[in-house]
Amino acid sequence: MRLTLMTDYALRLLMYVARTPDRLCTIGEVAAAHAISEAHLMKVTHRLGLAGWLETVRGKGGGVRLALAPEAIQVGAVVRSVEPDFFLVECLGGGERCKLTGNCRLTGVVNGALHSFLEHLDRYTLADLLQGPASQVGVAIAVKPPTRRRAAAPPRRP
């Protein structure tokens, strides 16, 4: 699974603003700090404002600040509010174009993985992302190869 740039930028923006609670931050300064487009960051800021994560102040001297304390902002909730969809495979989108619909267990497996992914994100708040070195957050991921069943060897001929 890969999150969209919108979500990546949203999390970067929230972390930046959380580190400067004593003042308003401008879109320009955040864009410069992360080397991202101001126009794109403006869209991200708008979406985060509508979702209630940021307060925006217009006009001269305006900017953005967190609408909630970092401890009250769940990472999973932010991701859900920004990502356009979680259709990891076609059948999750309800398109009914897959010929295997109803005869395939892939949907359940992928839904389970998505649930685990979001559940893991729900364990963290914005405050957790701001503390200490990056190595202290999360867990190491060990990729286990899928279990493969070996085909039975053909019988030996005498």
With a pLDDT cut of 90, the percent of the chain lying above it is 56
In a domain, 151, yes or no: no
Q: What is the mean pLDDT of the chain?
A: 82
Residue-wise DSSP of 42-63: HHHHHHHHHHTSEEEE-STT-E
Domain residue limits at 53: 5-134
In a domain, 82, yes or no: yes
In a domain, 146, yes or no: no
In a domain, 40, yes or no: yes
Min mean pLDDT across 57-71, 103-117, 137-151 is at: 137-151
Residue 150 has pLDDT above 90, yes or no: no
Phi and psi at 74, nearest 5°, equal -80, 130
Position 144 confidence tier, pLDDT thresholds 50, 70, 90: very low
Residue 141 has pLDDT above 90, yes or no: no
CATH number of domain containing 57 = 1.10.10.10
Structurally, the chain folds into a number of domains equal to 1
> What is the arithmetic mean of pLDDT over 50-69?
94
Nearest residue to 12 (alpha-carbon basis) of 46, 36, 43, 28: 36
Phi and psi at 89, nearest 5°, equal -135, 160
In whole angstroms, give the CA distance from residue 148 to residue 126: 40
In whole angstroms, give the CA distance from residue 90 to residue 80: 19
